[in-house]
Amino acid sequence: MSTAPASTTILLVRHGQTATTGKVLPGRAPGLHLSEQGRAQADAVAARLGALTSRPVALYVSPLERARETAAPIARALSVRARVDRGLLECDFGTWTGQRLTTLQRKSQWRRVQHAPSTFRFPGGESFSEMQVRMWSTLERLASAHPREAIVVVSHADPIKAAVTYAQGVPLDLFQRTVIATCSVSALVIGEHGPLVLSVNNTASLNELRPS
């Protein structure tokens, strides 16, 4: 029997590009699908994950279409079933959902969103703090189900940023300094001795994703 501390490697994948990426705050609005480029990105990240020497054993995905469409080729590459988990949802942007970023940037609250997000709640929606707690508790739950294994999680930029900054011990008010590109991979280890961050916003080879 192994006496090594139980730990789980979690590969966080942001969904692929959509027609609104960088233009609109889509949030949890239904009916948003990957663009042609997004589908190509999903195929590419699936190939990268499928080429890993130590293959992930499970795949979890946000219920939104853009995430599930990203997960589909990953599931085929890993020969696993994509399991939907609502804990991986995008932040609930409330009444800001679907608005153009150029419009939102003119709002007086935009500065708080960028520089003091821990103090902000989206009107009719979720706070960044609630999103971070939700995302991290979901990752801990998934990790506990897969000790000494690797899993893939397909989610959204803000939840992934919030998880990475939490794992690093960085205050939530600084999480906007982290960039999570479409179909990038960010790798964390969750174990008995606390989290480790192996890689953030990785779009290159994944074969070196192991703690030293």
Active-site amino acid positions: 15, 90
Q: Which of 115, 201, 173 is nearest to 209 (CA)?
A: 201
Under the phi-then-psi rule, with left for phi > 0, alpha for psi from -120 to 50, and beta for the rest, what region is 204? Answer: beta
Q: How many whole angstroms separate alpha carbon 207 and alpha carbon 90? A: 28
